[in-house]
Structure 1
């Protein structure tokens, strides 16, 4: 008895995926397609990237605060608006959970594939869908990949 390292080495690893209905986004799908968003679990490296995004966000916010301290307020507001941050004060970083979920969403989206900017845009457009998708990715990540045939 014991761990079979040979069996472990030979096991095929397959992404754990799920298709999630997103009727709230139906307008962005072709008329003949069901509004489905396919997501997958994240591996350890991707989870580390998502966790690291929280630290990067904090450091970036500190840098922005220093840079903006000498910029007129109207220009600061224009910059924040262009970044989609008008609801937040310049000296307030995005919550760590939000930053983590953005990273999870853009890395765990299979169909459609999206980038970080599109993940943020989705969060701004429909917070409930953003949380529904990121929750599922986090749940799948906890379950790990599947073993293939």
Structure 2
């Protein structure tokens, strides 16, 4: 399932009654930046996604996220959009599906490097900071 205009770059895993991942919800960051003062929430640079998929199977081949750095854009209005990351490549996924994304999620729980990569992409590289306490 694909969702847009979420501001942050995130995903959710839907599981069946036995706890098996059956669907992934991919929330795309927004072109509209968001500056939140909610506890545990952050801000984001503008972004958009390009999804390459197999039109026969509907499997995702790759999902690329592009962004513009607002700090740089405010200094120079010709600052270009650039590739932030490619989901399969940068998260080292064989597929983009519920099972692979659930494995990624489980890995984030124990691997601070992978978790911090997620935090960077979640904020679209806007001042990413590692969450502490209950927000970790």
**TM (normalized to structure 2)?**
0.27
Larger radius of gyration: 1
- Which is helix-richer, 1 or 2? 1
- Which is strand-richer, 1 or 2? 2
Specify which structure has the bigger relative contact order, considering alpha-carbon pairs within 8 angstroms and separated by 6 or more residues: 1
**TM (normalized to structure 1)?**
0.25
